[in-house]
Structure 1
Amino acid sequence: MLAGCASAPSDTAASGSAGAGENCARMVTNSGGLDDRSFNQSSWAGLQKAEKDDGIQARVLVSTTENDLAPNVAQAVDSGCGFVLTVGYELAPATEEQAKANPDIDFAIVDETVEAPNVKPILFDTAQASYLAGYLAAGVSKTGKVATFGGGNQPPVTLFMDGFADGVDAYNAAHGTSVQLLGWSKEAQDGSFTGDFEDVNKGKQLAQALIDQGADVIMPVAGQVGEGAASAALATGDVDVIWVDNDGYDTLPAEYRPIVLTSVIKDTEKAVQQIAVSSTDGSFSNDPYVGTLDNGGVDLAPFHDLASSVSPELSAELDTLRDQIASGAVTVTSPSQP
């Protein structure tokens, strides 16, 4: 299934040679689809910006099941475009296979590493920004319990959770508090998972279970499933959500704005645009891009409607921590770091 930038899905837009070559790009989503309020959506926004600003014709092939993945990557290659972007670990095998078979095409893959001379990994050290999110969550919690859960126990997911856990610990150490983290143990590298990135009801059920245990700030790391956590938080009242990947205040339905405390942002859009352009100007390399606090690849979103719940003192602590992590004075570690 292929969608153009502003038109309905169209197979004919992908076939043929119109726009093919160095000035066109194809993207393949994972099985979560395009409008996942997560990395598929952000990656596509980057290619759309490359089309608008840099004249790179962009099209996307949308995968809705695992059976779509390999055929969609093959179709992207057959388009004749010089740049193919794939999103997520599910697409690693097909990306590796096609990259080896097509050494003259530049590939990039989001949130996964594929080792090949023509594949650029696009990675984000989200533990750094999630550390700030954990510190913030502990600082605003009224119940003394905060939580996180994931869609699956995979490095791009648990990287967020590790940083969040360390941030909660850092707040406790700085303030002599004992805020408890539910849903994840960094030491055990295990916790609460829905086993799914698409079923919103699973997210709602798991979030409700965490709320029932006393959590009043929850960070779901589960793509669309996280919307279920927002639903549970809104229905319960006095529970806030920290979104991930992009600013949930903007990407979630407007009804959830009152409960979005902040978001752990990956600037996938900017990274994708820059790498797509590099494929056209000859500067493309397979050196991994790693987004950090220092280079602006990750950060916390504004507090938006909940700004009044974050004291000036806590906000200042977060600013100091951000600078310390960016400079290397404070080190955030995780076995899942890129």
Structure 2
Amino acid sequence: MSKTLLSFVVPCYNSKNTITAVVDEIINTVETRPNFDYEIILVADSSPDTVYDVIKNLAQTNPKIKGINFARNFGQHSAIMAGFRHSKGDIVFSLDDDGQTPADELYKLVDVINNGADIVFARYRVKKHNRFRNFVSKINSFMMETLTNKPKQLAVSSYFAVKRFIVNEMIHYKNPYPYLGGLIFRATSNVAHVDVEHRERVEGKSNYSFKKLLALWMNGFTAFSVKPLRISTYIGVITATFGFIYGLFIIIRKLVMPQILIGYSSLMAVLLFIGGMILLMLGMIGEYIGRIYICINESPQYVIKEKVNLEDDNGQ
């Protein structure tokens, strides 16, 4: 009887002191069930520390551990996409490199997949993130509900498992600015979650700066939905209607009470408001056009500088 292959994709950034423990926990957990095998794909996102040296050392001791090193920093979602393209597993996992995602509970996700779900997310009973990160998670969840087909009650996280056919669909996306939420929820609606523990961070702090989070949100807004453009249209219609009604009010008031002077301050306030809204909408349209331009120029989703224990014909 052939074993079910589990692929584990771990994007790595500033994690030279934690990645070995994560790998060991994955291996020890998988080996508790003899009908499963594993491969671990560690993707170094041009990390400023020596995590890729750690990855190479791990790969030398175990051929099931595979490494990828990017030429520059492309972001977590691009790193996961690179790992997905090189994976061969029947079920593919994504989890973090800092040890906060409990690899020893991976079979909870496998069991939900085997019960029929196409994708299963880990839902943390109590999140151990700081307040800012929890706030960011809520915004990401709201964005997915608004811009994709994510069910409202579904919990999403960076720890999830996906069936092979979903991965095969996701990796068809070759453009820059991948957004995993959009790729997942456009592929299937058969999604579930399962409760797991969320651990304290072993060391360091989150690698998501405000700049990176802003870029991620922009990807979510523009990569898989035209709803922002439709919202712009609605705002334009509402603003124009308000302006028309206010204009009628000013004309009628002037006819009824001609001694009243037209207020300069109120006029400037209206002009500044409308001007700001126009610039906001133009910026949004410009973002869409700019991304179309970048895609036409075939900008890479990522650039691989080096691989270990991987064939050269599996990815970009």
TM above 0.5: no
TM-score normalised according to structure 2 size: 0.29
More strand by percentage: 1
